[in-house]
Amino acid sequence: MIFRQLFDPESSTYTYLLGCEQTREGAVIDPVFECADRDLALLDELGLKLEYTLETHIHADHVTGADRLRDAAGSKAAVPEKSRAHHADVSIREGEPLSVGTIEILPLYVPGHTDDHHAYLVRTVDGARLFTGDALMIDGCGRTDFQNGDAATLYRSVHEKLFTLPEETLVYPGHDYQQRRVSSIGQEKARNPRLGGGKTLEEFVAIMNGLNLPRPKKMDIAVPANRECGEVQIA
Ligand SMILES: [Fe+2]
C-alpha cells in the first residue's frame, strides 16, 4: 500500500493518503481545505486517482478539503451518516467497509469526542493501521465538551473498541501538537495518561471535566462549513 502522513501546521491536523499499488486508486482521510493543492500535487506525483475523501467526524478546528478535492479530482466525499452532512456522496457506517482498489477501510464507530466520530482500520500485509481521528491521540485524546461529546462515552469507545485490537496495531492520530507521528495500541494502553495505565472511567471523566479548554478559534466557521463537506462560498 502507498501511504503518506501529511501535516497542516495551522491546525496541527494529520491527513492520511492511502493508495492501491495495483489499481492506482487512492483515498485521503481528513483532508484540510487549505492543503488541497498539496494533496492534489502529491496524488499526481504518485500517479493515483482519488476515489474517496473520508472524514472521521465534523471537525471544529479546520475546514475539510473534501469539496475542493471533489471538484478537482472527481472524488466522492465519504462522511459518517451520523454527521448529517449535506452534499455527502457516501454515508459511512460501522460494519460497511469501503474498498479502494485492494485496500479495505473498516469504519469503527467510536463516539465521545463527538457523537458522529469514526476511526478507520486498514489491515495490509505490513500490519494494521488505525486512523483514530480525535478519539485517541498519542498520550491524549480529543476534548469531550462540545458537539455532543461525552467523556464516559469516549472512555467506553476507546476501551471496548480500540484497546481490544491487537497491541501492535499502529495508531495514527488526527492531530498532534508535539511532532509525534505514530503510536500503537499497546503503547497507548500502557501509557496514555488519560485513558491508559489502568485509569478508571471515573478518573477519566474527572480529568476531562477539569480541562477548561478555550473554544477552537475557527469553530464558528469550521462546523457549518464541514456540515456542507467543505463547500465554502468565496465572496
Ligand atoms: Fe475534532
Tell me the per-residue pLDDT of 144-155, one tens digit each, with 9 for 90 and over. 999 999 999 999
119-176: per-residue pLDDT in tens?
Answer: 999 999 989 999 999 999 999 999 999 999 999 999 999 999 999 999 999 999 999 9
Distance 80 CA to ligand 1 centre (A): 14
Distance 67 CA to ligand 1 centre (A): 18
Distance 172 CA to ligand 1 centre (A): 14
Instruction: Report whether pLDDT(234) > 80.
Output: no
Instruction: Output phi, psi for 59, to 5 deg.
Output: -80, 150
33-44: per-residue pLDDT in tens?
Answer: 999 999 999 999
Instruction: Report whether pLDDT(104) > 80.
Output: yes
Distance 142 CA to ligand 1 centre (A): 6
The predicted pLDDT at position 232 comes to 83
Distance 110 CA to ligand 1 centre (A): 12
Distance 63 CA to ligand 1 centre (A): 11
Distance 18 CA to ligand 1 centre (A): 21
Distance 56 CA to ligand 1 centre (A): 8
Distance 221 CA to ligand 1 centre (A): 14
Instruction: Output phi, psi for 28, to 5 deg.
Output: -125, 130
> Rounded to an integer, what is the distance from CA 136 to the centroid of its chain?
10
Distance 47 CA to ligand 1 centre (A): 30
- What is the pTM for the complete model shown? 0.97
Please tell me the number of Cα atoms within 13 Å of 146 on its side-chain side: 13
Strands (E), the chain: 2-8, 13-19, 25-29, 49-54, 76-80, 90-92, 98-100, 103-109, 118-124, 127-133, 170-173, 183-184
Q: Which amino acid is at 58?
A: I
Distance 22 CA to ligand 1 centre (A): 33
Instruction: Report whether pLDDT(235) > 60.
Output: no
CA distance 180 to 188: 13
Instruction: Report whether pLDDT(7) > 60.
Output: yes
CA distance 132 to 185: 11
Distance 233 CA to ligand 1 centre (A): 23
Distance 57 CA to ligand 1 centre (A): 7
174-227: per-residue pLDDT in tens?
Answer: 999 999 999 999 999 999 999 999 999 999 999 999 999 999 999 999 999 999
CA end-to-end distance (rounded Å), the chain: 40
Distance 81 CA to ligand 1 centre (A): 16
**DSSP 8-state symbol, 195:** T
CA distance 130 to 81: 20
Rg of the Cα atoms in the chain: 17
Cα separation values, 61 from 3, 13, 169, 175, 215, Å? 24, 9, 27, 10, 9
Please tell me the number of Cα atoms within 13 Å of 222 on its side-chain side: 19
Distance 99 CA to ligand 1 centre (A): 25
59: nearest Cα among 98, 85, 26: 85
CA distance 234 to 61: 19
162: nearest Cα among 223, 99, 120, 210: 120
Distance 174 CA to ligand 1 centre (A): 8
Please tell me the number of Cα atoms within 13 Å of 17 on its side-chain side: 28
Cell of 188: 497507548
